[in-house]
Structure 1
Amino acid sequence: MKEPLFLQPVFQERIWGGTALRDVYGYEIPSDRTGECWAISGHPNGQSIVKNGAFAGKTLGELWGSNRELFGNLEGDVFPLLTKILDANADLSVQVHPDDAYAKEHENGELGKTECWYIIDCKEGAELVFGHTAKTKEEFVHQIEAGNWDQLLRRVPIKKGEFFYVPSGSIHALCEGTLVLETQQSSDTTYRVYDYDRTDANGNKRELHLDKAIDVTTIPHQDPQLNITTEKREGAEITTFVQAQYFSVYKWDIDGDLHYTQTHPFLLMSALSGDGSLEIDGKTYRVKKGDHFIIPATVHQFTMKGELELIVAHP
């Protein structure tokens, strides 16, 4: 199977969503409250469907079950990664995710959730919540019970093009006016810590998960140490954001012809901007802004051409 797997995104409506997924990428979104594009997903809550070739119409989860050779014969019950684009038209809830061991025990075998963000765009003065100030669990609990959110939560100013790595156990939240590409473990488990006392149309506040959040939050907060590097190659500039336990994430700025030899179980590729092509075994596939696809393990060499900005990830 010497072809890419182009995927149909799945859209999720959220109370904090907006229209950027349509305005920026031209996607057909279900409403003006669309918060998430699940671009590459084998998760049962939103499965990507293959659009092209021999496996057209199959879900990514089905392929993981039936054609594991496409994914380097990796072990595991579920496709391990999930790529999203998030439109934070309003502040997201402040939340934290469990690690694998806690999620397996408390969330019916679900994976934990370590994730990362590439800031596609953001409004001037945008920020995000990342981490907290508590030195002990007692202090953490006290600040939550007292509602001292301004003292407890760390706010970080952000700019377009920045990258944040968010290990499980990290308190975090995207804030209003932010468009991000998220690479994460394939998990939909979130423990909500604070939701700004928002209510839905019926006047109900969203559920919080304070006991579990207190269980899993890393105290004191630890900022991950990243070593972001950039390498110039013929036809491209490749930035390495993170190489970690669950995933490695890069940015490929294509400007010409990049010849690449594939050595990973598979590559997840998302075109943030531009227009170009992918050549495999003499066959050419157009790649344009908003496309998401997988280069399977069965493709050993390929060429990217044109002017493209890609986020690339692998396990």
Structure 2
Amino acid sequence: MFYPLKFNHLYIEKIWGGTRLNNYRDDLPPGKIGESWDVSAQSENQSVVKNGKLAGKTLGQLVEMYPVQLLGDAVTAEEFPLLLKIIDAQAQLSIQVHPDDEYAANYPGEAGKTEAWYIIDAEEDAYLIIGTSDCSESEFKKAIQNEEISEYVNKVKVKKGDVFFIKAGLLHAIGPGIMLAEIQQSSDTTYRVYDYGRGRELHLGKAMDVIDFKLQARKRQGLKIANSDYDYSYYCLNDKFALDILDIRTEYKASGDRDRFYIMTVVEGKGKISWANGELDLLETDSVLIPAYADEFTISGALKIMKSYVPDLEKNRKNILQVIE
């Protein structure tokens, strides 16, 4: 019964959004689409299953109906813990920061948010803002008041295939001309610091509470394990999620983990995922959810997959140590 799940796309218009997703999909509505929420159990943006016997069910309903079979024996969350988005930034996003779980717990309705980005496409000279540039809290506050914030933020040029980990407390913004896949805690809590005069609400008090001026940008290098049919690389590992990259040349065979679910997102190329009773085309920017109790499946083709999941930290570290020892 448990098979790879594909969901209907949930598109969200943003003032900074664009039309780049039209190059990958044929179901976009008109307007500046900034975000596609592709695996989500957020109350107002629930993913709905598109394929198979469970079609029409929301992700939240599936968690209620099959908590262990979907999430896994080792994932004890009462709600689906992750959120997968595709972001198309035609214009600069606000400079912002997210709180950690401890700080967010002080404010009903808010939740902590740590995230990671995989750059799917980027125009020449595209950049991210990540971290502050060697300044104190008082200097940064003054720069905001004087609208001189650009002098105190760290701009990082990016290209297709780059991966960044955005820890709660790290100041950040996505620059124009970038499309990326984002895996994050299932939270929409954002504190805006600066918004280029667009008139939206700022959250300077909370933002200054949570910005960690010691955190700095660092592109992830990854640790690659080469196999005959595919390469497997570890990129991010923390207590909220892990991000690995599968670079498949021919095929990759696996089955449900039993301990945890996986989100598989195509970040380059195309192929198919097949199992005993079905198959799905996998195109660039597509995501599928592999339930913990899913049977064996095969991903075939020439494609690169971003694999996201809630890890067993000790198990992952042992796997990595086995590679480098």
Give the RMSD, CA atoms, in angstroms. 1.9
Q: Which amino acid aligns with 2:15?
A: I
Q: Provide closer, same or farther for how the CA distance between residues 129 and 223 of structure 1 changes in structure 2, counting only shifts above 3 A.
A: closer
What residue is the counterpart of 2:205 in the other structure? Answer: 211
What residue is the counterpart of 2:159 in the other structure? Answer: 159
How far apart are residue 311 of structure 1 and its match?
1.4
- SS where residue 46 of structure 2 aligns? coil
Please say if 1:287 is aligned against 2:288. no
What residue is the counterpart of 1:117 in the other structure? Answer: 117
> Percent of aligned positions with the same letter in both sequences?
38
**Within 5 Å, which residues of 2 pair with 1:1-315?**
1-22=1-22, 24-69=23-68, 70-73=70-73, 74-108=75-109, 110-198=110-198, 205-223=199-217, 226=220, 228-263=222-257, 264-281=259-276, 283-315=278-310
Structure with more of its chain in strand, by fraction: 1
Q: Which amino acid aligns with 2:77?
A: G
Structure 1: segments with no counterpart, 5+ residues = 199-204
Further displaced range: 57-66 or 286-295: 286-295
Q: Which amino acid aligns with 2:179?
A: L
Task: Output the CA distance in 2 between the equivalents of 1:314 and 1:300.
Answer: 17
What residue is the counterpart of 1:202 in the other structure? Answer: none
Q: Is the 8 A contact 1:192 1:210 kept in 2?
A: yes
CA deviations over 1:261-281 (Å, ceiling 9, x no partner): 543511101123433222324
- With structure 1 as the length reference, what TM-score do the two structures score? 0.91
Q: Which amino acid aligns with 2:4?
A: P
Structure 2: segments with no counterpart, 5+ residues = 311-325
Q: Provide closer, same or farther for how the CA distance between residues 220 and 158 of structure 1 changes in structure 2, counting only shifts above 3 A.
A: same
Q: Is the 8 A contact 2:192 2:202 kept in 1?
A: yes
What residue is the counterpart of 1:201 in the other structure? Answer: none
How far apart are residue 135 of structure 1 and its match?
4.3
Q: Provide closer, same or farther for how the CA distance between residues 226 and 162 of structure 1 changes in structure 2, counting only shifts above 3 A.
A: closer
CA deviations over 1:68-92 (Å, ceiling 9, x no partner): 0211142223211011111100000
- SS where residue 143 of structure 1 aligns? helix
How far apart are residue 293 of structure 1 and its match?
1.0
Count of residues in Structure 1 that have an aligned counterpart in Structure 2? 307
- With structure 2 as the length reference, what TM-score do the two structures score? 0.88
Task: Output the CA distance in 1 between the equivalents of 2:3 and 2:255.
Answer: 14
- SS where residue 304 of structure 1 aligns? strand
- SS where residue 111 of structure 2 aligns? coil
Task: Output the CA distance in 2 between the equivalents of 1:87 and 1:270.
Answer: 16
Q: Which amino acid aligns with 1:286?
A: D
How far apart are residue 31 of structure 1 and its match?
2.2
Further displaced range: 155-164 or 64-73: 64-73
Q: Is the 8 A contact 1:97 1:112 kept in 2?
A: yes
How far apart are residue 250 of structure 1 and its match?
1.6
- SS where residue 7 of structure 1 aligns? coil
- SS where residue 6 of structure 1 aligns? coil
Q: Which amino acid aligns with 2:173?
A: A
